[in-house]
Chain A
């Protein structure tokens, strides 16, 4: 069975601090896809990044960076120099190959205080 765990329920940081959101997943499949989504107070989920299980290259995009490590089944997300607009709930998600369900983690609520 697939499972996604986001151990941090809520995180509060002060603006300009760096923050890392943890995601640990469980799957027996060799081919799978990992995603991060952001849900601001408006409610719409916003896609941030996807990775397939064969691509462990970590990425930096502006203030965002991702650390995918298959050895520890982790797909962590870091925001550098956080801003108030980063306040949202962040979801990590896992999907097996074609035709399978999406499994979301419980989400981490990030509050960035001015």
Chain B
């Protein structure tokens, strides 16, 4: 069974631009979560989607948004990029809501904002 895939793996953008990251969960998984990882702030939860509905959102500004499609694939969008948005963005999928279920993580998308 294929794992969680994220595209692109690496991305370089400039301040003020916007970016869309994509995540394809493991087949049969309906929950997708996004995380931001930076050296300064560590791993921080962004959102959780289940059956196309956002179930939970972390403490991030409105510039960060996401969505989930009927096939469970998910995208996250960051508008008006800032230097501080440079990070590794990780996507994780699980069979159901992530309270207790094991999450499987993708390799991440490394975003660099210049």
Contacts and interface: CB of A to CB of B under 8 A. Distances in A.
Contact of A45 (B56, B58, B90): B90
Interface string A26-63: 00000001000100001111110010100000000000
A99 interface: yes
B45 A103 contact: yes
Interface in A60-103: 91, 93, 95-103
Interface residues of A, number: 25
A104 interface: yes
Q: Determine chain B's interface SS by DSSP, over half rule.
A: strand
B102 A50 contact: yes
Interface residues of B, number: 23
17 contacts: A33-B100, A37-B105, A43-B88, A44-B106, A44-B108, A45-B103, A45-B105, A46-B105, A47-B105, A50-B100, A95-B99, A97-B99, A99-B55, A99-B97, A101-B45, A105-B42, A106-B42
Nearest to B102: A47
Interface of B: 33, 35, 42-45, 55-56, 58, 88, 90, 92, 97-100, 102-108
Interface of A: 33, 37, 42-47, 50, 52, 91, 93, 95-107
Given A104-B44, A106-B42, A99 B56 contact: yes
Nearest to B42: A106
